[in-house]
């Protein structure tokens, strides 16, 4: 499927819409969609061929005016031949699509990032919106679907009220930091030593409510606020900081000015807490708060009715909301957080988990792709990403960490098959964002794995990656398995060094009687294509007790080639192996596996080769 995004700007131009568009395009391209983007800005020598920037002649009431935008849109539609237009609003240049026959012949998805809010005293904006609104409503009427960024914003949006039947909510997603997070020493950070380090980020604009924060910390000993960002209110905020600072005392607020990505992430990593005191619904979602959550920082945000900002923090349980503009309430909230480190840590960890499990860009992109498929069911769509299948029994100590590591690597299609656990394995896996299947009867390790493989077949997956819930397997090695899986139906992630001397002797024994040249016979870190999954979902495979030798022989008998790729593995994070927990279990495993291997010499197997 070919998607053409019509956006406002694109990095290195900075802003929440811009960062999200860049992350979304990258995720969609990684998921196999053919994507292009048309935005404002000066063309750059390092721009990819799918990105077109149109120079801006001037800006009027925050709106860029680019006379060449219509021509660029027409040319790009003709060259790229998209299946669908994805318009990001507010953006006056997106209205040019209304005037082009080639654009009107395509289905449209509108991404509603924010209402245009006209506050008291902003007459120029109020006049401009009178001209803007008819075109805005015409685009909404023409759109097949309208995506709002949170349920709260959708419910409160007056411009979207007429079109509620075509609206849905898809929370924004956050990609991994685009630069390595620098490790800054205390001396390199802008907070005075020994202070409670507060941080707020954003353009210095009227709706951000920085004045509230400055007044809240003005008379708080041991607290220092850093406000990072540039904008038209810098001089006014500097005067307010000076006015709130008693003579002879150092300011409790630092205006650090604009910061680049590396500096921003250094500040997020170094602060104790993040604050966003926005006072208007122009603050539609609060990507800066989501970035703070990604760094594991507790958040204090405005209880801004109709904004996605308080919804984000509440749903993630990453902090608390504070009444808009209420300086005493903000002062009290900051002091309470400062005096309760345990709560701060709990909120920070909850936020980090929420970003990994629910607010990642891969999950957001997948939901948006489902919107595309609803609109264009006949258009070619990207294949589903691989399904991660994890059998688990009493792995509460590790399963959440394993799923979080997978999600942080972009693997969000995860099924945990809970095999009659007596601890919190299922609840923790579900909370971490996995689909949990809980069979009524005990399945055993292979039965649980087979259940996950059958789930994959029923839901149309073409590849399955299996791994253990005990933390042995490194998610960063999954791309190596998938790359080999492009050419081979069965790939084993091998790390033979992990075995003890006795285990390596057993492997040599089984290689001798099976004829396999495989080095790591018992690795559960594997990649199966759909043909292999169909073999393993068959009734004959149900007779097996273990996922190693019997499974491999079944696959070989079906004529499927098996290869190994080297991977990293780690010791189990907790608990014994289900197979090697005791010598009686080892003995049973050796006897059953030997009988299974010797059965390959039965005449029916020899004739079936």
Considering the domain architecture, whether residues 134 and 236 belong to the same structural domain is answered as no
Read off the pLDDT band of 55 (50, 70, 90).
very high
Q: Give the chain's mean pLDDT.
A: 87
Q: What CATH number is associated with residue 443?
A: 3.90.550.10
Q: Both tokens of residue 294?
A: 């990604």
409: confidence class by pLDDT, cuts 50, 70, 90: confident
- Give residue 469's pLDDT band: very low, low, confident or very high (50, 70, 90): very high
Q: DSSP string covering 309-365, please?
A: HHHHHHHHT-EEEE-TT-HHHHHHHHHHHHT-HHHHHHHHHHHHHHHHHTSBHHHHH
Q: Tell me how crowded residue 46 is: count the other CB atoms within 10 A of its CB.
A: 5
Best CA proximity match to 527, nearest among 565, 570, 568, 496: 565
302, 216: one domain: yes
> Which residue did the predictor score with more confidence, 478 or 500?
478
pLDDT(592) > 50 = yes
Query: End of a domain among 116, 141, 169?
Result: 169
Same domain, 353 and 396: no
Flag whether pLDDT at 609 surpasses 50: no
Same domain, 322 and 249: yes
- Of 139, 169, 199, which one is at a domain's C-terminal end? 169
- Residue 377, in any domain of the structure: no
Please check whether residues 336 and 397 belong to one and the same domain. Answer: no
> Could you tell me if 71 and 157 lie in one domain?
yes
- Of 97, 141, 66, 71, give the one whose Cα is nearest residue 4: 97
- The total of structural domains in the chain comes to 3
User: Same domain for 221 and 261?
Assistant: yes
User: Mean pLDDT throughout 399-420?
Assistant: 92
For the segment 423-445, the average pLDDT, to the nearest whole number, is 90
> Mean pLDDT across the stretch 132-149?
94
Residues 52 and 136 in one domain: yes
Q: How far apart are CA 507 and CA 336, in angstroms?
A: 59
519 or 306: which leads in pLDDT = 306
Tally Cβ neighbours within 10 Å of residue 525: 25
Residues 258 and 142 in one domain: no
Token reading at 304 = 């801004």
DSSP string, 117-130: ---TT-HHHHHHHH
Please count the CA atoms within 13 angstroms of the CA of 555 that sit on its side-chain side.
Answer: 27
Are the beta carbons of 482 and 462 closer than 8 angstroms? no
Does some domain include residue 413?
yes
pLDDT at position 601 is: 45
Residue closest to 270 by CA, chosen among 355, 352, 192 = 192
Indicate if 324 and 427 belong to the same structural domain.
Answer: no
pLDDT surpasses 50 at 605: no
In the prediction, which pLDDT does 38 show? Answer: 97
Instruction: Give yes or no for a contact between 470 and 395, defined as CB atoms under 8 angstroms apart.
Output: yes
pLDDT, tens only, 370-396: 899 888 776 655 567 899 999 999 999
Question: Does residue 364 sit within a domain?
Answer: no
Residue 249 is assigned to a structural domain of this protein: yes
Q: Are 405 and 355 in contact (CB under 8 A)?
A: no
Terminal CA-CA length for the chain: 42
Is 105 part of a structural domain of the chain? yes
CA nearest neighbour of 173 among 294, 36, 10, 258: 294
Residue 607 confidence (pLDDT): 32
Domain-embedded: residue 378: no
Boundaries of domain holding 581: 384-607
- Rounded to an integer, what distance in angstroms lies between the CA atom of residue 521 and that of residue 597? 13
- Encode burial over 55-70: b for 16+ CB neighbours within 10 A, e otherwise: ebeeeeeebbebeebb
Q: What is the pLDDT of residue 121?
A: 61
State the CB neighbour count (10 A cutoff) for residue 499.
17
Q: What is the pLDDT of residues 262-305, one digit of tens each?
A: 899 999 999 999 999 999 888 899 899 999 999 999 999 999 99
Final residue belonging to a domain, choices 169, 202, 237: 169
Whether 32 has a pLDDT exceeding 90, the answer reads no
Taking each helix axis as running N to C, give the angle between helix 287-294 and helix 308-316, from 0 to 180 degrees, rounded to the nearest 10.
20
Q: What is the pLDDT of residues 511-552, one digit of tens each?
A: 777 667 787 878 889 999 988 898 898 877 887 766 677 788
Helix (H) or strand (E) holding 131: helix 123-142
Residues 316 and 218 in one domain: yes
Question: Considering only 164-168, 175-179, 340-344, 581-585, which range has the smallest mean pLDDT?
Answer: 581-585
* Residue 15 pLDDT: 81
217 occurs within a structural domain:
yes
* pLDDT reported for residue 288: 93
Q: Give, for 65, the enclosing helix (H) or strand (E).
A: strand 63-65
Q: Does 275 share its domain with 320? A: yes
> Buried b / exposed e across 540-572, counting CB within 10 Å, b at 16+?
ebeebebbbbbbbbbbbebebebebbebebeeb
**Span 582-595, average pLDDT:** 63
**157 vs 587: which has the higher pLDDT:** 157
pLDDT of residue 100 exceeding 50:
yes
Q: Is residue 99 part of a domain?
A: yes
CATH number of the domain encompassing residue 128? 3.40.50.2000
């Amino acid at each position: 499927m070919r998607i053409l995004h019509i956006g406002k700007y694109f990095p290195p131009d900075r802003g929440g819409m811009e960062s999200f568009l860049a992350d979304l395009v990258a995720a969609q391209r990684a998921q196999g969609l053919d994507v292009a983007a048309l935005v404002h800005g000066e063309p750059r020598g390092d721009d990819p061929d799918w990105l077109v920037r149109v120079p801006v002649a001037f800006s009027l009431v925050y709106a860029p005016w680019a006379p060449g935008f219509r021509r660029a849109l027409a040319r790009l539609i003709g060259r790229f031949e998209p299946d669908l237009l994805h318009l990001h609003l507010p953006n006056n240049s997106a209205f040019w699509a209304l005037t082009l026959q080639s654009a009107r012949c395509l289905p449209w998805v509108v991404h509603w990032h924010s209402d245009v809010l006209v506050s008291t005293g902003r007459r120029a904006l109020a006049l401009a919106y009178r001209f803007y609104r008819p075109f805005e409503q015409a685009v909404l009427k023409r759109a097949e679907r309208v995506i709002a960024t949170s349920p709260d914003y959708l419910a409160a949006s007056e411009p979207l009220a007429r079109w509620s039947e075509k609206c849905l909510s898809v929370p924004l997603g956050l990609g991994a930091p685009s630069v390595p997070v620098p490790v800054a020493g205390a001396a390199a950070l802008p907070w005075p030593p020994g202070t409670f380090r507060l941080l707020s980020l954003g353009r210095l604009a009227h709706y951000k409510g920085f004045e509230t924060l400055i007044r809240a910390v003005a008379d708080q000993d041991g607290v220092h606020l850093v406000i990072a960002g540039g904008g038209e209110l810098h001089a006014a905020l500097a005067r307010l900081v000076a006015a709130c600072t008693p003579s002879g005392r150092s300011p409790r607020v630092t205006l650090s000015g604009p910061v680049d990505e590396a500096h921003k992430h250094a500040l997020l990593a170094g602060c104790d807490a993040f604050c966003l005191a926005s006072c208007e619904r122009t603050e539609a979602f609060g990507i800066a708060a989501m970035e703070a959550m990604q760094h594991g920082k507790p958040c204090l945000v405005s209880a801004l009715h109709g904004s996605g900002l308080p919804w984000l923090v509440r749903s993630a349980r990453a902090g608390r909301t504070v009444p808009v503009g209420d300086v005493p309430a903000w002062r009290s909230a900051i002091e309470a957080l400062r005096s309760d480190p345990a709560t701060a840590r709990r909120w920070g960890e909850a936020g980090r988990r929420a970003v990994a499990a629910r607010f990642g860009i891969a999950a957001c992109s997948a939901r948006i792709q489902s919107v595309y498929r609803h609109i264009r069911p006949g258009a070619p769509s990207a294949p589903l990403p691989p399904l991660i299948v994890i059998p688990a029994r009493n792995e509460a100590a590790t399963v959440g960490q394993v799923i979080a590591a997978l999600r942080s690597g972009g693997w969000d299609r995860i099924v945990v098959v809970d095999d009659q656990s007596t601890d919190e394995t299922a609840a923790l896996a579900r909370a971490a964002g996995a689909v949990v299947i809980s069979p009524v009867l005990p399945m055993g390790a292979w039965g649980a794995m087979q259940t996950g493989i059958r789930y994959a077949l029923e839901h149309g997956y073409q590849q399955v990656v299996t791994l253990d819930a005990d933390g042995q397997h490194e998610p960063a090695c999954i791309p190596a398995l998938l790359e080999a899986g492009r050419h081979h139906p069965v790939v084993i992630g091998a790390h033979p060094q992990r075995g003890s001397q006795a285990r390596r002797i057993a492997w040599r024994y089984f290689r001798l009687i099976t004829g396999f040249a495989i080095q790591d016979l018992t690795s559960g870190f594997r990649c199966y294509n759909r043909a292999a999954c169909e073999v393993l979902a068959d009734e004959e495979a149900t007779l097996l007790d273990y996922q190693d030798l019997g499974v491999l022989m079944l696959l070989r008998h079906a004529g499927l080639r098996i290869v190994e790729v080297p991977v990293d593995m780690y010791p189990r994070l907790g608990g014994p192996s289900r197979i090697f927990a005791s010598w009686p279990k080892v003995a049973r495993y050796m006897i059953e596996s030997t009988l299974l291997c010797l059965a390959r010499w039965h005449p029916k197997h020899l004739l079936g080769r």
